[in-house]
A and B are shown apart, each in its own frame.
Chain A
Amino acid sequence: MSQSLDAYLVVSGILFAIGSFGFLARRNAISMLMSIELMLNAVNLTIVAFGAFLPALNGTASVIALMVMAVAAAEATVGLAIVMAIYRNRRTPLVDEYDSMRQ
């Protein structure tokens, strides 16, 4: 099982689905960011799994995974800064109360 690509792909698919559920269902903006991180991790696992099982992608997959991690770090920085900025104005981290553009 640990020697087959399918097992890793299924695990990362389930992880991605969990992350997408959290992104759609949670009310807290930081919870949504955590779910995004879970989804990014699922994608990274897919990339590394392909790199481990396809000879043509072997080294490249790790390079791509490291790039994805760097971009994820940048995304977390900016995303959390945006959440902090909104929190300072609205005094709530709940996304469904950010409705001033709807009124």
Chain B
Amino acid sequence: MPIPDTIPVLGISWGDVLFLVLAAVMLGSALLVVMLRDIIRCGLAMIVAFGALAGIYVMLGAPLVAAAQVLVYIGAIAVLILFAVMLTQAKNAPVRLVFQAQALPAAIAAIVLAVLIGLTATATDWGAVTKRIATGTDALARLLFNSYILPFEVVSVLLLMAVIGGIFLAKRDGRDA
């Protein structure tokens, strides 16, 4: 028996449902990242948000970006942040307020920003097509290694500099060790 195109009772397509679920998971866990008191849980919620975003990338027809999202963000950046959390959060540190005094103005500013972005994005005619276009990995590789070979190499130099700079900044000073 074939699966129908739309959900029988609700009448919305499976793609919409998937998009709504992924967006809700991503935005909900992003809210947890900024609201939770325990910073380790913030980091774990961030991993969930990144994973849901990778799913949205797959929906947008960019599987290579989704794979890079999982590898770079979940595999590298989130783990790096969790390590930094474990190295810097002292157990006996006083558990005081998580937020700055400006949290309320910041919340108002963020809501205003979201409304502004939403209004602007929906009011502008982007000339978008109504059907998503997938990006093939083959075409992407051709672009990356033909037209964009110089930025690609510059990024590798940038990463090398970041590695050296990170080691330099984080290493203990030899004098007081």
A: which residues have CB within 8 A of B? 1-11, 13-22, 24-31, 33-35, 37-38, 41, 44-45, 48-55, 58-63, 65-67, 69-78, 80-85, 87-88, 91-93, 96
Contacts and interface: CB of A to CB of B under 8 A. Distances in A.
A2 B99 contact: no
Contacts of A25: 34, 99-100, 102-103, 106-107
- Name the prevailing secondary structure of the B interface residues: helix
Interface string B45-66: 0100110010011011110110
Contacts, number: 262
A82 B170 CA distance: 7
Interface in B72-99: 72-73, 76-77, 80-81, 84-85, 87-90, 93, 97-99
Contacts of B72: 69-70, 72-73
Contacts of A22: 33-34
Contact of B68 (A41, A55, A69): A69
Given A2-B19, A18-B114, 14 more contacts: A3-B131, A8-B60, A24-B100, A30-B84, A30-B85, A31-B34, A38-B33, A41-B50, A44-B65, A52-B135, A53-B126, A58-B133, A80-B81, A80-B84
Given A6-B121, A30-B39, A73-B159, A20 B60 contact: no
Contact of A66 (B15, B144, B166, B169): B144
Contacts of A82: 169
A72 B65 CA distance: 14
A87 B88 contact: yes
B57 A48 contact: yes
Contacts of B27: 11, 14-15, 18
Contact of B46 (A34, A81, A84, A88): A34
A68 B18 CA distance: 26
